[in-house]
Amino acid sequence: MKLFSLKRLKSSVTKPSQNLVDQAAIEMSSRRRSRQQSGSTRISDDQIIDLVSKLRQLVPEIRNRRSDKVSASKVLQETCNYIRNLHREVDDLSERLSQLLTTIDADSAEAGIIRSLLNQ
């Protein structure tokens, strides 16, 4: 049984890049609205290039490479792998924290520290 919010833990794992994600989401949302208003359902090549460029900035394996020549398909592949790894890491941390919480006294100082960290 998980004794804390996975959603909160997942959001804390991704906070360093959250600003770029928020920008991309806002941009995609506004583009979606303008497409719906204009009746167009296609995304332009420039928009795809822009979004792939933003993904390059978010994914450490791509961002840390010396070469800027990474194909869009490779960027998407690495992004999917990165997201899968983040989910695995959150699941692992969730399980470890649940196990830790079952081994300590609920009224102990350690439990209080853990609760305060989770409530941040």
Q: What is the pLDDT of residue 67?
A: 73
Q: Model confidence over 65-101: pLDDT tens digits?
A: 877 788 999 999 999 999 999 999 999 998 888 888 8
Cβ atoms 56, 70 nearer than 8 A? yes
56-60, 91-95, 115-119: least confidently modelled range: 115-119
Report pTM: 0.57
Q: Is the pLDDT of residue 19 over 80?
A: no
Closest CA to 12 of 86, 84, 62, 63: 86
Residues 13, 15, 19, 21, Cα dihedral to 10° = 20
Q: Which residue has the higher pLDDT, 103 or 92?
A: 92
Q: Which residue has the higher pLDDT, 120 or 71?
A: 71
Domain layout of the chain by residue ranges? 6-118
How far apart CA 72 and CA 97 sit, in angstroms, is: 37
Q: What is the pLDDT of residue 16?
A: 46
